[in-house]
Structure 1
Amino acid sequence: MISCSEMKEMDRYAIEEIGIPSIVLMENAALKVVKNISPISEKIVLVCGVGNNGGDGLAVARHLYLSGRDVAVFILGNLERRTKDFGINLSILKNLGVEIKEIAEGNMLEDLRKSIQGSDLIIDAIFGIGISRDVTGLYRKAIEIINNSYKPVLAVDIPSGLNGDTGEPMGIAVKARWTVTFHRMKKGLADAKVYTGEVIVEDIGIPDYHE
């Protein structure tokens, strides 16, 4: 098991020292998530933040859309703060004609609630392991909608809102049925089954770190 800071260093090593483009790691991560989605899940709602965890979610949405699934994509957060790789995947989805809804105000949460009610599966890609403060505002309300729906949830890397080192919710956290985490098991996932559900560790092509 590794800490979040160790995981970030492994990411940095792979990208900056080995030279693996970050968008390649994102694509690998998305493919491993898709591999773990049941073929019987036809209607899938993806809830994405604007960081790289959200970028993973957008790449997952693309693969699901291209395989003929019914996908609904919701984005939480200020798009001006999006990461580069998130922006690349967002542009691809838009070019494909996938409908994307940006949740900027509270009244837009009703669209999310309705979409979830008719879904088979929710993909949680709001926050990754980098969360450092309690979840508030629209993010908290969106997680409440997800948890109160009692629909099956697959979390990308870590349930949004969960502290990756302690396994404690940062005010609130998504309660997932499955968590597909990348490269190594994170310390905070080990004893937080009420939030993580089944944890699946997937290799995404990050080499072993050598100092």
Structure 2
Amino acid sequence: MYALTAKGMRYIDKYTIDLGVPSPVLMENASKAVVELIQKRFPEKSTRILVLCGSGNNGGDGVCAARWLKHLGYDVLLYFAGNPDRTSEEFLRQMNIYTRTFPDAFIGGLEGDEEDAAALEAKYDVILDSIFGTGLSRRLGYNFIKFIEYINGKDAYKISVDIPSGLNATTGQNMDALFLADETVTFGSYKIGMLMGEGRACCGKVTVADIGLVPSAYDEVPDKLVVCDNAFFRENYNRAILPRPEKSHKGTFGTVGIVVGQGSMMGASILAAKSAYRAGCGLVKILCPRKFMGYFNISIPEAVVVPYKPENGPDALEHFLKEVGVVVIGPGLAENDYGRGLLDVVFRNSTPAVVDAGALNLISRNARSFRMRRCECVITPHIGELARLCGEDIAVVEKNIIGFVKRFSEKYHVSMVAKNDVSILSLIRGNAQQLFVNTIGNSGLATAGSGDVLSGAIASLAAQGNSLNNSLLFGVMLHGRAAERFARTKNGERKMMAGDIADNLF
């Protein structure tokens, strides 16, 4: 499943039509998907339905759905909320079919009289929104803003056709008013804007309907994201969650190393270590200052603690890297010259690395050793860290997270995830780049230490024999699924701590 920009969806539509599938057929298929959802949710034919249609193709979808609903015996009122001077050919075709099929049916919004006002003021069980579709790119005028705000205030189950009116399909920007849907039936693919910005808040539950768009068209669209949802995880589970042979020992499942610097926040390293074990690796080794050794022995006795003196930390790390399959550096790492020295050691060696937190902030100040690195690595910045890495204000990055991830990943040839309510991943394979959007998870992940748990999980999957790319992709999904699993407990999202996420990875 993909998420596409408005431009990408236009290409898919045109590609399909050019192959010979008529536009009216696609519109009938789309409308039937909406009607089937309404039939499922509201099987009683006495259900009162208000269909709001604009003057474009999205409005045509709504008119077509209204016709089918009336045909099936529902109590339907069609209301025109578009610009009569800017009607599309498909809208006019559908309106012509509707009026010829139901010549006596009242259509609201055409006269602007008391009957129109009464139609809007009436009580409905369902309101179907097909005013604006994916082509909306301009700010809404005052009348549309007030109209959408009025409709949002009505007590009814609200369904959007393809995308909620007022939402920019590419960016997720609010174009000054948003139809607040309880459910959205979108066609062919997610639209990127439904997952970004204010998209998730206004779409409600999303159903992606297959309306017959030609699958091969997606191969030609460059600006697409692979959607990582629970269905994607289940379908691809075996790519990263490798079988565990019964004839095995701790070495079979790999060793994760955790680097702890002088003056570090030990809790972050403990969470990463615990997470690595919970995700299935056989052994965790923690390189830490001698003065911290007792804390780690008590907090996570399963780990092997390797102490070092301040004066020989870099030398100890050189030896340590030869004893582990993958290393985690950054969680709790102090952002000082000593931390910089440890990070430089990791980058001049060949041990695969997961780089997060303090290490990312050190890179943002001076990226030379990162640019010249010998090791394969993945990075896991949150939005603030991504902004620092890119030398931009966080508000600027938030408006175009995908663009910043794409460019930074390409520039430094590094696979990465930008952690957010919806996370964006870029995987670099040779000269190819593939972008993903992860929708798994919930607000419980917004808790201190959550990122440290993710770093440990990614490293653990890599230690068990996965590529770093696969480990990054599936580590992010496992992390989100753990939050969803814990959220099933009473007030789970509210009371979630990072340790709960680690404990629920499997």
TM-score, normalised by the number of residues in structure 2: 0.39
Aligned to 1:194: 201
Contact 1:105–1:138 (CA<8 Å) still a contact in 2?
A: no
Q: Aligned with 1:87: secondary structure?
A: helix
Higher RCO structure (Cα 8 Å, ≥6 apart): 1
Aligned to 1:12: 14
The superposition leaves residues 156-186 of structure 1 with CA deviations (integer Å, 9 ceiling, x where unpaired) of 0000000111222100110000000000111
Offset of 1:105 from its aligned partner?
Answer: 4.8
> Which amino acid is 1:24 matched to?
V
1:88 aligns with 2:93: yes
Q: Could you tell me which of 1, 4, 10 is aligned with 1:2? A: 4
Contact 1:53–1:128 (CA<8 Å) still a contact in 2?
A: yes
Offset of 1:26 from its aligned partner?
Answer: 0.5
Aligned to 1:178: 183
> Which amino acid is 1:199 matched to?
V
Offset of 1:89 from its aligned partner?
Answer: 1.2
Q: Aligned with 1:158: secondary structure?
A: coil
Offset of 1:130 from its aligned partner?
Answer: 0.6
Aligned to 2:392: none
Please say which of residues 28-37 and 90-99 is displaced more in the overlay.
90-99
Q: For residues 113 and 143 of structure 2, what CA distance do their matches in structure 1 show?
A: 7
Q: For residues 91 and 180 of structure 1, what CA distance do their matches in structure 2 show?
A: 24
Q: Aligned with 1:81: secondary structure?
A: coil
Offset of 1:74 from its aligned partner?
Answer: 0.7
Q: Which runs of 4+ in 1 moved over 3 A?
A: 103-109
Shift in CA distance, 104/171, structure 1 to aligned 2, threshold 3 Å:
farther
Q: For residues 189 and 14 of structure 1, what CA distance do their matches in structure 2 show?
A: 23
1:126 aligns with 2:121: no
Q: Aligned with 1:36: secondary structure?
A: helix
Shift in CA distance, 132/108, structure 1 to aligned 2, threshold 3 Å:
farther
The superposition leaves residues 99-128 of structure 1 with CA deviations (integer Å, 9 ceiling, x where unpaired) of 21235659776334313xx11000000000
1:110 aligns with 2:117: yes
The superposition leaves residues 82-105 of structure 1 with CA deviations (integer Å, 9 ceiling, x where unpaired) of 111111111121112322123565
Aligned to 1:142: 147
Q: Aligned with 2:180: secondary structure?
A: coil
> Which amino acid is 1:34 matched to?
V
Aligned to 2:22: 21
Contact 1:155–1:179 (CA<8 Å) still a contact in 2?
A: yes
Q: For residues 74 and 143 of structure 2, what CA distance do their matches in structure 1 show?
A: 27
Aligned to 1:42: 47
Q: For residues 186 and 139 of structure 2, what CA distance do their matches in structure 1 show?
A: 21
Q: For residues 62 and 29 of structure 2, what CA distance do their matches in structure 1 show?
A: 12
Aligned length: 208
> Which amino acid is 2:201 matched to?
V
> Which amino acid is 2:108 matched to?
K
Aligned to 1:203: 210
Larger radius of gyration, structure 1 or 2? 2
Contact 1:77–1:103 (CA<8 Å) still a contact in 2?
A: no
Offset of 1:15 from its aligned partner?
Answer: 1.1
Contact 1:45–1:73 (CA<8 Å) still a contact in 2?
A: yes
> Which amino acid is 2:53 matched to?
C
Unaligned runs of 5+ in 2: 221-506
Aligned to 2:31: 30
Q: For residues 171 and 155 of structure 2, what CA distance do their matches in structure 1 show?
A: 25
Q: For residues 137 and 74 of structure 1, what CA distance do their matches in structure 2 show?
A: 19
CA RMSD across the alignment = 1.8
Q: Aligned with 1:130: secondary structure?
A: coil
Contact 2:80–2:108 (CA<8 Å) still a contact in 1?
A: yes
Q: For residues 127 and 35 of structure 1, what CA distance do their matches in structure 2 show?
A: 21
Unaligned runs of 5+ in 1: none
Q: For residues 30 and 3 of structure 1, what CA distance do their matches in structure 2 show?
A: 21
